[in-house]
Amino acid sequence: MHIHILGICGTFMGGVAALARAAGHDVSGCDRNVYPPMSTQLRKLGIEIHDGVDADQLGIDPDCVVVGNVMSRGVEVVEAMLNRGMPYKSGPQWLAENVLHERHVMAVAGTHGKTTTASMLAWILEDAGKAPGFLIGGIPANFGESARYGESEYFVVEADEYDTAFFDKRAKFVHYRPRTLVLNNLEFDHADIYKDMDAILWQFHQLLRMVPGRGRVIMNGADENIRRLIDQGCWTPTETFGTADDTDWTARFDDMVERHIRMRGPDGHVAKARWKIGGMHNLENALAAVAAAASAGISLEQAVDSMSRFEGVKRRMERTATVADIAIYDDFAHHPTAIAKSIKSMRRRYPGHRVIVAIEPRSNTMKLGVHNELLADSLQGADLVWMFRPEGMRDDFEVSLKSLGSKLRLFDDYDRLVNDMSTRVLAGDQVIFMSNGGFGSARQTLTALLQRTRSG
């Protein structure tokens, strides 16, 4: 079967393309922005990519068109697909029907930590010899790829609550029908899709309705919105996790710099390990993954031992360079909660060092001003903040940042921001670039500039 994917260069749709190719299908696709690393990964798999969204590409007459949620009515290729009566499906529907059916789906859902937790769970299963399949919205360093078909019944999927397609406005995850479900946390996000927290809870309620009674729900025991969700109805046994002693699964750090972890399971057994990640939020992510792995028969001791070999995820506090004792990181944090947690973790791991943040608030929710009041508070833990002001930000954006005072430097030009940073960073600084986009290659530019001016 020949499958043509619209919006193929997104992380999710690129993963769908890789899975379709692994299943033996002929795969092609298109996108508006065809660039590495996704374009390189797909072409290595023998997948032809058309640059653009014109109608002419449909002349290849595919058996099925798989439509990414980046596509909308009015896009030329979409209108041509509809006018010609071509068969089409969303990415999540295709995934459910062709990959997830008859498998033990382990879905990781929630506002924060989905990519990291799903990566950790996939690695625990892999390290235990389970050979899982997975589709993750990032690239786990242990695998070097965001998707794999797998050789066993187990499949780990990052369960995103964003809408499915222009013709299906339900959350993507309602298609997945998991047997094991992780609920990391719930906060208001995606203001371009959901009007309030109740709207988000309703979508998650639909997800809970699909988890079988013989399945398992692993939930954050300290999250009030998750408790509200469960109160709406749950027909599956639940287990709680957290850093407090009143949850079924608990964890803590055994040292101040977050190098040693300790976890306890529902039966009271304890396991310890040294790891490479750090951060209280990542400790909770790891605990959720360990608890979920138990539904595949993996012991606490084995799962915690696997975490000692977990290498992290690309763009999740990834240290990309060290120049003249200045450490530079790439971090996907773009919600105030995640921003604050990343800064706090860095302070704990590197006491006595300055934590420098460069941030690009580019999500639709940020541009709508939903998080304006929270953004400044989330950045208070940083010593200096370079803020890029994207086009389309509301007029009250700058006013909301006044509490940052002299630690804030605001720019609307990437090069000027980088040049200013290069004159102010010092040896020993931990410099974090935070964005869910490319940040105008500012991180790479600063790295190259420091290599020219500070090295040797």
Dihedrals φ, ψ of 134, to 5°? -160, 155
Per-residue pLDDT, 372: 63
How would DSSP label each residue in 326-350? EEEEEE---SHHHHHHHHHHHHHHS
The pLDDT of residue 330 is 92
Q: CA–CA distance from 204 to each of 93, 134, 201, 217, 356 (Å)? A: 17, 21, 5, 12, 36
In the prediction, which pLDDT does 428 show? Answer: 95
Q: With 0.85 as the threshold, say if the pTM is over it.
A: no
Determine the pLDDT at residue 393. 75
How far is the CA of 251 from the CAs of 122, 185, 258, 301, 450, in angstroms?
20, 16, 12, 13, 39
Dihedrals phi, psi of 49, to nearest 5 degrees: -115, 125
CA 158 to chain centre: 8
**pLDDT confidence of residue 368:** 53
CA dihedral 344, 345, 348, 350 (to 10 degrees): -110
- Residue-level pLDDT at 456: 62
Looking up tokens 């786990």, which residue turns up? 140
How far CA 96 is from CA of 141, 376, 406, in Å, comes to: 26, 40, 51
Q: What is the reported pLDDT for 115?
A: 92
Residues 6+ apart with CB under 8 A from 219: 182, 183, 226, 230, 238, 239, 240, 241
Looking from the CA of 300 toward its CB, the CA atoms found within 13 Å total 17
Asked, as a colleague might, if the bond just before 37 is cis with ω within 30 of 0, I would say yes
* C-alpha span between 231 and 225 (Å, rounded): 10
Residues of the chain short of pLDDT 50, as ranges, are 369
Ordered domains of the chain (ranges, CATH)? 2-90 (3.40.50.720), 102-307 (3.40.1190.10), 318-453 (3.90.190.20)
CA 313 to chain centre: 9
- 392 φ/ψ angles, rounded to the nearest 5 degrees: 95, 0
The Cα–Cα gap between 288 and 222 comes to 13
Question: pLDDT digits over 134-166, tens only?
Answer: 999 888 999 988 999 999 999 999 999 989 999
Give pLDDT, residue 106.
98
Model pLDDT for residues 54-79, shown as the tens digit of each residue: 999 999 999 999 999 999 999 999 99
Position 332 scores a pLDDT of 82
